[in-house]
Amino acid sequence: MTAPRRAPRYTGVRTFAGLPHAPLASALGDASASPAGGLGGTDPAGGRAALAVVGVPFDTATSWRAGARFGPEAIRSASVLLRPWHPLHGVEVFGPGAIANASAVVDAGDVAITPGNAQRSVEQIAQALSALGSVGITALALGGDHLVALGELRAHASLHGPLALVLFDAHADTWDDYYGERLFHGTVIRRAVEEELIDPARSLIAGIRGSLYAPSDLDDARALGLELVQIDELRATPPGAFAARVRDRVGGWPAFLGFDIDAVDPSAAPATGTPEVGGLLAGEALAFVRELTGIRFVGYDVVEVSPPYDAPGQITSLLAASVAYEMLALAALGRLGLG
């Protein structure tokens, strides 16, 4: 072992993978801090962070189980098992070797959200991530329920225009409202299309399965222009071939990579808001994300981890941390011009 830490991994305040903590203070409206300074100051080389892991502890918008507000804490806790070197890509995901152009990976803490107020929270998320993006810092968000992606997409689209969405999810999340509420975790993709944050013609949702209220649940998603990949088709596709299909769909566009943990089977991801039987196995989940090289992702998230349902093995949080790690590896490859 090349000892990368002074003490065992279970030592110290939990940041994602033990990364430096660079609180996202200024993005939250605290005048005494600035994201450039705060986030840049963590880089021993004096540079600015290239990527920030940021928690979004919001779960007001769930239709079944709540609890995702504790998702960032639990994913951070499990993530300290992650190590910097990714042997399959041959890349250092964080740490000195992960740096290109003197950049680094940090944990920027959590976005301040407003429980019970979806509208305000989405806007808080959008502002926080815009602040990061405006100084060139890519965000990997840890949810929170899936609605948090609306705030993320607002931030990213404000900088990059409509994005190609690459999403792993059991559900299309294109309902129009939920008992009158238009900002809900099952409406987030429709809102993103309506607000022109994503370009449906370059977007794809994979892992779709389960019973529906009506055929329109999926027909409407397709009518919006989204491409849906059913779980059986997904699992029958080798990860490399799936990645090629995604690259074709995305077509070089700036893209967003989202992972709703309910894309995975409940045996491997029991702790989620709306579990759906028959999903990806854990190894498949990692492989499908891992192969998505060569795409210009400008943002990432892993959402819908609900820790109260994860004890005692905490396998969902560990899986979510591992999915996030694969995303960080894609980002590292991109920074190094390798992927």
| Segment 83 to 102, residues that bind a copy of itself, using CB under 8 A | 83-87, 90, 93
DSSP characters over 94-144 = SSGGG-STT--EEEEEE----TT-HHHHHHHHHHHHHHHHHTT-EEEEEES
Task: Tell me which of 224, 268, 330, 333 binds a copy of itself, using CB under 8 A.
Answer: 268
H/E element, 328: helix 315-335
Partnered with residue 55 across adjacent β-strands are 110, 142
Residue 77 is a binding residue for a copy of itself (CB under 8 A): yes
Report the residue number, 266 or 294, with the smaller CB distance to a copy of itself: 266
Q: Which stretch binds a copy of itself (CB under 8 A): 72-80, 135-143, 194-202, 240-248?
A: 72-80
Residue 283 is a binding residue for a copy of itself (CB under 8 A): yes
Residue 310 is a binding residue for a copy of itself (CB under 8 A): yes
What is the C-alpha separation between 313 and 97, in angstroms, rounded? 32
Question: For the chain, how many residues are written?
Answer: 339
Task: Tell me which of 49, 61, 125, 192 binds a copy of itself, using CB under 8 A.
Answer: 61
Report the residue number, 240 or 252, with the smaller CB distance to a copy of itself: 240
Residue 202 is a binding residue for a copy of itself (CB under 8 A): no
Question: At closest approach, how far in Å is the CB of 257 from a copy of itself?
Answer: 18
Report the residue number, 155 or 183, with the smaller CB distance to a copy of itself: 183
Residue 23 is a binding residue for a copy of itself (CB under 8 A): yes
Residue 15 is a binding residue for a copy of itself (CB under 8 A): yes
Residues of span 204-243 touching a copy of itself by CB under 8 A = 210-218, 231, 235
Task: Tell me which of 297, 325, 331, 333 binds a copy of itself, using CB under 8 A.
Answer: 325
H/E element, 171: none
Residues with Cβ < 8 Å from 53, sequence gap 6 or more?
Answer: 16, 17, 19, 105, 106, 107, 108, 139, 140, 142, 324, 328
Residue 266 is a binding residue for a copy of itself (CB under 8 A): yes
Strand ordering across the sheet containing 204-208: 105-110, 51-56, 138-143, 297-303, 255-260, 164-168, 204-208, 227-230
Residues of span 99-138 touching a copy of itself by CB under 8 A = 107, 109-118, 120
Q: Look up residue 275 and give its two tokens.
A: 């579990």
